[in-house]
Amino acid sequence: DTEVTQTPKHLVMGMTNKKSLKCEQHMGHRAMYWYKQKAKKPPELMFVYSYEKLSINESVPSRFSPECPNSSLLNLHLHALQPEDSALYLCASSQEAGGMGQPQHFGDGTRLSIL
Amino acid sequence: GEDVEQSLFLSVREGDSSVINCTYTDSSSTYLYWYKQEPGAGLQLLTYIFSNMDMKQDQRLTVLLNKKDKHLSLRIADTQTGDSAIYFCAESISGGYQKVTFGTGTKLQVIP
């Protein structure tokens, strides 16, 4: 059982749609992350939030827009995506963004397919 | 630069031990992690080791770290079919932000 919950589990959308991915954790963690994972590849970091502020954007295209409404929630807003954006999107959290030995805990991901 | 390398595939018989290997290049690594990913699921943290340790045991899992050779291994004793998954090692370097670099992943197949 994962303590990081992601919804929806699957999402199919057209290139002109707007949708959002949601992530929630109740472990009191102050750092939250979005990763993108293509098939048979390791996760690639997209964004890091620390104390509800965006601290890292790994040069992600603006069609992905993250939001952290509070310390437990993390959203990823999607608009005008491309077929190559189809992937598994993983959310993770850790106690602190810069703390030593504080592993990241992952949700089960949202499987996104762009038509 | 940071590169974390793993062999792509490992096949073992049920009941045998599995050893999954990982090499990393950044000598500044402070923590090294092992994650397990089953089909259709996220990454499950299995165990992690601080870089000043050389071994950590947790039930069926044994992690060995050779810092001189920058080599990390995960040994799974009495491997079960439920252990079939992709295993990622990862390294982190502490600082303003704990950047985690994942290895390429090893697919473990357990034959009944």
Statement: residue B95 has pLDDT above 70: no
Across the interface, do A43 and B102 touch by the CB < 8 Å criterion?
Answer: yes
- What number is the average pLDDT over the span B84-102? 82
Statement: residue A76 has pLDDT above 90: yes
Q: Tell me the chain B residues in contact with residue A43 when contact means C-beta distances shorter than 8 Å.
A: 43, 102
Distance from CA of B43 to the nearest CA of A (A): 6
Distance between CA atoms of residues B78 and B69, nearest Å: 27
Query: What pLDDT score was predicted for residue A38?
Result: 96
Statement: residue B92 has pLDDT above 90: no
Mean pLDDT rounded to a whole number for chain B: 91
Q: Which residue is it, tokens 């038509």?
A: A115
Which residues sit opposite B106 in a β-bridge? Answer: B87
Statement: residue B81 has pLDDT above 70: yes
Query: What pLDDT score was predicted for residue B82?
Result: 96
Across the interface, do A105 and B48 touch by the CB < 8 Å criterion?
Answer: no
Q: Tell me the chain A residues in contact with residue B44 when contact means C-beta distances shorter than 8 Å.
A: 2, 106
- What number is the average pLDDT over the span A92-97? 86
Distance from CA of B13 to the nearest CA of A (A): 23
Distance between CA atoms of residues A100 and B30, nearest Å: 8
- Tens of pLDDT along A48-64? 999 999 998 999 999 99
Distance between CA atoms of residues B21 and B53, nearest Å: 17
Q: Which of B18, B37, B21 is nearest to B75 (CA)?
A: B18
Across the interface, do A100 and B94 touch by the CB < 8 Å criterion?
Answer: yes
- What are A89's two structure tokens? 């999107």
Residue B83 gets which letter from DSSP? G
Across the interface, do A42 and B105 touch by the CB < 8 Å criterion?
Answer: yes
Statement: residue B76 has pLDDT above 60: yes
- What number is the average pLDDT over the span A64-90? 96
- What number is the average pLDDT over the span A90-112? 86
Distance between CA atoms of residues A54 and A36, nearest Å: 17
- Tens of pLDDT along B9-61? 999 999 999 999 999 887 777 789 999 999 989 999 999 998 888 999 999 99
* C-beta separation of A37 from A90 below 8 A: yes
Statement: residue B1 has pLDDT above 90: no
Across the interface, do B43 and A111 touch by the CB < 8 Å criterion?
Answer: no
